[in-house]
Amino acid sequence: MTAFIARRIVHSLFVVLAITVVIFVLVRLTGDPVAVMFQSGEPTAEAIQELRKNLGLDQPIYIQLAIYVKDMLTGNFGTSFRTGESVFSMIMEKMGATLLLACGGMLTALLIALPVGILSAVKRGSAIDFFGRIFSLLGISFPNFWLGIMLIIIFAVHLKWFPASGYQGPEYLILPSVSLGLILSGILARLIRSSMLEVLNQQYITTARSKGIKEWMVIIKHALRNALIPTVTFIGLQFGTLLGGTVIIEQVFSWPGVGRLVIDAISQRDFPVIQGSVIVLAFLMILVNLVVDISYGFIDPRIKQGGGKSE
């Protein structure tokens, strides 16, 4: 287990380094941040050169990259071009709201997808299965920003059940969480259904039933547990997707998270904030996937952490 975790950590470090290089180069292809800062005035050439020097933009790009990586390894993501604040502090100030929204979306998806997927598999070919598949198809079809706008119009504007934007309490989390989770639940329900159908056809399920074990015990303890491997993998991948997908939902609901911070930074060409936000989100996605890999051994002890199943 220790060797497996060590290998994954080393691999993750190389992935983070690659992401750092890519995002560092790409953001500099978007234009000159100094031009944005001086767009409302007519600065002299000396003023422009002085500002570029203060921001460290007068050095060749490979030197800028080397300095950035060295500082990043010590936890220093630089300071914002726009505000002069520590980038890491700015990200951490917003990260709690983004993680809360991503967890709310995933919880919503699980609360919907688990019963829909299990019932569709158990009642295969029935009306329940039919409506479950229709729900999955609808969930895949709707873009989350459109669903978010519709939820605001219906439940915030007309019915006035929930607030439309911002975050000042738990009730503000409901609509954006549903916007993220409802669409994800359609995909997740389909995956759970297919995994359950495959498991329910196995010999050990027939054996468990022949022993007189209650049906709900067979479904939950034997079938669902063994169907969770692909589901857990999908959840881990999708949680990372949710972290990135919150960018749009945060804009729709004026949610004070990292997504809005990145959008504002892009409009201002605030390179350090863009770089730091993407790197931190990438690190969280890698961390989630590492936790998912480790969790396989707890879900199914037959799985070795370094390879396949034990013989």
Is 121 domain-assigned? Answer: yes
Residues 214 and 129 in one domain: yes
Residues 222 and 145 in one domain: yes
Residues 67 and 98 in one domain: no
Q: Which amino acid is at 286?
A: I
What is the model's pLDDT at position 306?
46
Beta-carbon count within 10 A of 6 CB:
10
- Contact residues for 90 (Cβ-Cβ < 8 A; gap 6+): 80, 83, 261, 273, 276
Residues 57 and 183 in one domain: no
What is the model's pLDDT at position 222?
64
Per-residue pLDDT of the chain (311 residues; tens, 9 = 90+): 677 677 777 887 888 888 888 888 888 887 777 766 666 666 677 777 777 777 777 788 888 888 888 888 888 888 888 888 888 888 888 888 888 888 888 888 889 888 888 888 878 878 887 888 888 777 777 777 788 888 889 988 888 888 888 778 788 888 888 888 888 888 888 888 888 777 777 776 677 667 766 777 777 766 776 777 777 777 777 777 777 667 778 888 888 888 888 888 887 788 888 888 888 888 888 887 777 777 665 555 555 544 444 33
Domain boundary among 73, 103, 136: 73
Residues 154 and 215 in one domain: yes
Within 13 Å of residue 134, how many CA atoms lie on the same side as its CB?
7
Residues 216 and 109 in one domain: yes
Number of domains making up the chain? 2
Is 311 domain-assigned? Answer: no
Residues 113 and 69 in one domain: no
Residues 100 and 21 in one domain: no
- Contact residues for 269 (Cβ-Cβ < 8 A; gap 6+): 27, 30, 31, 32, 33, 36, 81
Phi, psi of 41, rounded to the nearest 5 degrees: -135, -175
Is 79 domain-assigned? Answer: no
Cα separation, 24 vs 62, whole angstroms: 10
Residues 235 and 287 in one domain: yes
What is the model's pLDDT at position 260?
81
Is 195 domain-assigned? Answer: yes
Is 304 domain-assigned? Answer: no
What is the model's pLDDT at position 39?
62
Residues 126 and 267 in one domain: yes
Residues 148 and 16 in one domain: no
Domain boundary among 42, 73, 104: 73
Is 107 domain-assigned? Answer: yes
Cα separation, 59 vs 222, whole angstroms: 62
What CATH number corresponds to the domain at position 250?
1.10.3720.10
Residues 17 and 97 in one domain: no
Domain of 20, in residue numbers? 2-73
